[in-house]
């Protein structure tokens, strides 16, 4: 099945804009709550926010489970350091965790595609994305890495389609670009 470049471009921008608007909504809510309602979330949740192992564990679990919690919430948590270098380090670690979680999903799909467990997961959670893998192929990895499509879920499906691991790892590097772009938005919004 051949797809026109215009179809791919439209598919990418529709999903990217949806993700961008979602990020703006999350960041906007954060700014409103912080500045206009006087709610100091850092003080309220301080015991939890200081436990980095807990935060990174929750984030890793979320990324392994198809990104249940948007990474932007963890980027906002990263602001609690108050230092740009620390923030960049935190976001970089979040991006690496996401990239590795995606690859773990890819390997899960590749090696366990014939198991009852994977068939259940595919039927129950991934069925709606399967036509996208067939239609867009490798391009879908880029779209999932840059947009709110569930990155690990797409990675798992792509792995189950015998996609070469090296190509997957290359295409999914775009995940770092998403984190960089969204981290800038979160940092700048915090400066308002």
User: Who has greater pLDDT, 87 or 40?
Assistant: 87
Contact 156, 105 (CB under 8 A): yes
> From CA 188, how far away is CA 79, in angstroms rounded?
11
> From CA 54, how far away is CA 35, in angstroms rounded?
27
Judged by average pLDDT, the poorest of 12-16, 56-60, 100-104, 176-180 is 12-16
- Look at residue 81 in the predicted model and tell me its pLDDT: 76
Q: Kindly indicate the confidence band of residue 41, based on its pLDDT and cuts at 50, 70 and 90.
A: low
Look at the chain and report how many structural domains it folds into: 1
Q: What's the mean pLDDT in 4-18?
A: 82
Residue 88's domain comprises 5-190
Mean pLDDT for the chain?
87
pTM of the complete model: 0.85
Contact 157, 122 (CB under 8 A): yes
Residue 180, pLDDT > 90, answer: yes
- Give the best-scoring range by mean pLDDT among 43-52, 112-121, 132-141, 167-176: 167-176
User: Who has greater pLDDT, 127 or 35?
Assistant: 127
């Amino acid at each position: 099945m051949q797809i026109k470049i215009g179809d791919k471009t439209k598919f990418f921008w529709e999903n990217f804009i949806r993700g961008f608007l979602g990020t703006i909504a999350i960041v906007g809510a954060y700014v409103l709550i912080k500045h206009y309602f006087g709610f100091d979330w850092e003080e309220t949740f301080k015991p939890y926010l200081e436990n980095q192992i807990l935060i990174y564990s929750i984030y890793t679990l979320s990324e392994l489970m198809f990104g249940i919690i948007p990474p932007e919430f963890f980027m906002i948590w990263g602001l609690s350091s108050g230092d740009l270098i620390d923030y960049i380090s935190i976001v970089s670690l979040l991006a690496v965790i996401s990239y590795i979680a995606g690859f773990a999903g890819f390997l899960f799909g590749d090696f366990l595609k014939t198991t009852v467990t994977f068939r259940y997961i595919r039927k129950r959670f991934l069925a709606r994305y399967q036509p996208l893998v067939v239609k867009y192929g490798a391009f879908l990895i880029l779209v999932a890495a840059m947009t709110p499509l569930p990155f690990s879920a797409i990675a798992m499906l792509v792995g189950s389609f015998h996609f070469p691991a090296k190509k997957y790892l290359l295409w999914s590097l775009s995940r770092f670009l998403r984190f960089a772009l969204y981290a800038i938005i979160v940092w700048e919004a915090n400066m308002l």
